Amino acid sequence: MTSQSSEHQTSKYINRELSWLEFNERVLEEALDETNPLLERTRFLAISSTNLDEFFMVRVGGLHLLNHRAKSKKDIAGLIPADQLKLLLQRVNRMVIDQYTCFSSIIEKQLNDEGIKRIQPDALSDSHLSYLDDLFENELYPIITPMAVGVDASIPLLRNRALILCARIAPNTKEGTQRYVFIPIPGNMRRIQSIPSNEAFEYILLEDIVHRYVNRFFPGETVEEAVPFRITRNADLAVSEDLASDLLSEMQHVLQERKVSDCVRLEINHEHTSSMITFLQHSLDVQDDYIFSIPGPLDLSSFSQLTDVPSHDHLCWKNQRPQQHPDIDPTASMFDTIRKHDVLLHHPYESYEPIVRLINEAADDPDVIAIKQILYRTSKNSPIVEALKRAARNGKNVTALVELRARFDEERNIEWARDMERDYVQVIYGIKGLKTHAKVCIIIRREPQGIQRYIHFGTGNYNEITARLYTDISFMTCDENYGSDATTFFNTICGYTQPQSYDLISAAPIGLRNKLLSMIETEIEHQRQGRRSHIMCKMNSLADKKIIDALYKASQKGVRIDLNVRGICCLRPGVPGLSDNISVVSIVGRYLEHSRIYYFRHGGSDRVMISSADCMPRNLDRRIELLVNIENTRCKERLIDILQAIFKDNTDARRILPDGTHERISPSNDENAYVSQHELYRKSCEAAELHERSTRSTFEPYRAPTRK
């Protein structure tokens, strides 16, 4: 054990990067879990690969820059960047071994048994070869362009995370020298290429096809070696907002910089020679620790393509159709529905369609005079963006605050921001120095009694696609107190005015952390006065030192604390004298747990809030976020039920241990298995069915009995 590891172990806090890798290990465990359908396990393996790509681009990339600049500032666990990188790379190496053991020894063998077979190049039949000859000549050879390395060893620009074949060409004369050529594998073609088969779904990887025909690119020469590799570039490049008068152009500059940023990882197939690895390492300027020799196909994320293989639905989860909320009449206007009562939706168990319908109705309703909305991420062909454009064309005052710095969605956000501007939507490109992550839509409507505001607050993005995959909360209301707060909030951030005080919301970076700290302190006071106290929180990440210290203090004063943290957790639960009363669980299930819910018993008068923010310094200090107090009793009780279901989970949940590792929770001998995501969907189905029966007409038409 290194001294850095010892320092980390004795710290009150867990390093956030190591904690994230533990989360990705939990994702990988889902791929190993034989109770999950096989193609879903394949998807989890692919997700763990995608996650690791982003981890290198952002977290390792950022630490790499800090280390290069000789920065010695310690993290929350007392580690400087060099120490963190050493520990992370050790842990990543173990994870890569686990991933490929899972793929080669388990997943691929079981897929083969189910008739989904990857054909190796040396096992191709005559019919396969005939098919591939045509495919290569007609579809691959015309579009692939080899890129030779210059005589001065300068290399062409290589795309981040692209699969590339590096070919080593033998000298053509005694005086000549060997040369290297890069052959990019087309990124706009399916990597998994199905090939004709009478018995099963057989496929071959695109790079294996190119490898087989590699000599076609070099007539009269000898290819001594051809090996697939890919590089990962640093994507943690900051926007220089102090120097940029135009955030849009500066963001475009950052996107260009990412294309040529430092290589922070080189992955190469393990069947390579020392000559090949020496050439690539020197050309790409990669240190030994950042080179990964991969014992299988590179980029396991591509294997998610197998999940749409035809005739194998039995290897996937059964379709779960989002339910219609009992309070929403699909035949009635959303304005009428929200006027009757506040509405709280739990996605994906309940449909996201009412939010899309609300904005569509607003776009076409002649009484709607304005729409104000924050857009952080949305879908490629977003119906919400289309509705905002249509509303503007219909003469409504439409303002969209578009966050250009939504990581890895920047190009899409730039594209549809410009598209909205062409339709006269007033677009605001984020806020200088702060990333806008809050989720709110305000619709202003002229009604007989005067101006009425309809508000949607959410914990997730305005994306109807991910709303079927992520668990999130939507809250819709026309309560004037929420309307006043939301309007003041929106106008404050768009007009760069002084922060205001609110009645029912709190906003980062000014008041949100203080609100949570105040609620924790109030719970301590209730405990001191002999009243029962309890804190329940559900979030994606917990890394803020002030919040963690407040929770430690509450635990030491006797407050019971239950936390559900999907990903990063820098708090050490269950440490004697520090966090005895804190338990932390994490759930990685069918759906990505994304909602943020905060509960405080508050002396018996329950306080419940939903938020766009996790408890991380970036959310609380460098982002514009919202924390919304839910006042409606029914909505509040619903949120408490959701939290209780999550903490009751004894099958999908993992318990986070004091050292940051985890163990799976299993039902005891006298317990039934309880899977929170299954139960929450079942309850949504029951509520929808009960509502449908209660509203069905009693006087159905008479039908004579059928006679045989």
Task: Please give the backbone phi and psi of residue 336, each rounded to the nearest 5 degrees, phi first.
Answer: -65, -40
- Over residues 487-545, the pLDDT tens digits come to 999 999 887 777 778 999 999 999 999 999 999 999 999 999 999 999 999 999 999 99
Q: Given this model, what pLDDT does residue 643 score?
A: 98
Please name the residue ranges forming H helices in 123-273. 126-135, 206-212, 247-258
CATH of domain 334-503: 3.30.870.10
Band (pLDDT 50/70/90 cuts) for residue 247 is very low
Residue 249: which residues within 8 A CB-CB, separation 6 or more? none
- Over residues 508-521, the pLDDT tens digits come to 999 999 999 999 99
The architecture of the domain spanning 507-681 is 2-Layer Sandwich (3.30)
Give yes or no: 272 in active site: no
Q: Which CATH number fits domain 3-315: 3.30.428.10, 3.30.420.40, 3.30.1840.10, 3.40.50.300?
A: 3.30.1840.10
The answer to whether the 3-315 and 507-681 domains have the same CATH topology is no
Which tops the pLDDT comparison, 683 or 247? 683
Mean pLDDT of 258-264: 72
CA distance 200 to 198: 6
Q: Given this model, what pLDDT does residue 249 score?
A: 55
Q: Given this model, what pLDDT does residue 174 score?
A: 65
Domain residue ranges of the chain, discontinuous segments joined by +: 3-315, 334-503, 507-681
Band (pLDDT 50/70/90 cuts) for residue 257 is low
Percent of the chain scoring above 90 in pLDDT: 76
Range with the lowest mean pLDDT among 61-75, 301-315, 406-420? Answer: 406-420
Residue 206 above 90 pLDDT? Answer: yes
Band (pLDDT 50/70/90 cuts) for residue 239 is very low
Catalytic residue among 437, 456, 526, 662: 437
Band (pLDDT 50/70/90 cuts) for residue 703 is very low
| Average pLDDT of the chain, as a whole number | 90
Residue 171 above 90 pLDDT? Answer: no
Mean pLDDT of 341-345: 97
Whether residue 576 has a cis bond before it, omega within 30° of 0: no
Residue 625: which residues within 8 A CB-CB, separation 6 or more? 437, 438, 507, 508, 509, 512, 611, 612, 613, 619
- Over residues 41-75, the pLDDT tens digits come to 999 999 999 999 999 988 888 888 888 777 788 99
Range with the lowest mean pLDDT among 204-218, 256-270, 312-326, 504-518? Answer: 256-270
630: alpha, beta or left? (left if phi > 0; alpha if psi -120 to 50): beta
CA distance 592 to 594: 6
Residue 393 above 90 pLDDT? Answer: yes
Mean pLDDT of 225-249: 67
Q: Where are the beta strands (DSSP E) in 637-678?
A: 653-656, 662-664
Percent of the chain scoring above 70 in pLDDT: 92
Cα Rg, the chain, nearest whole Å: 28
CA distance 542 to 307: 33
Q: Given this model, what pLDDT does residue 407 score?
A: 64
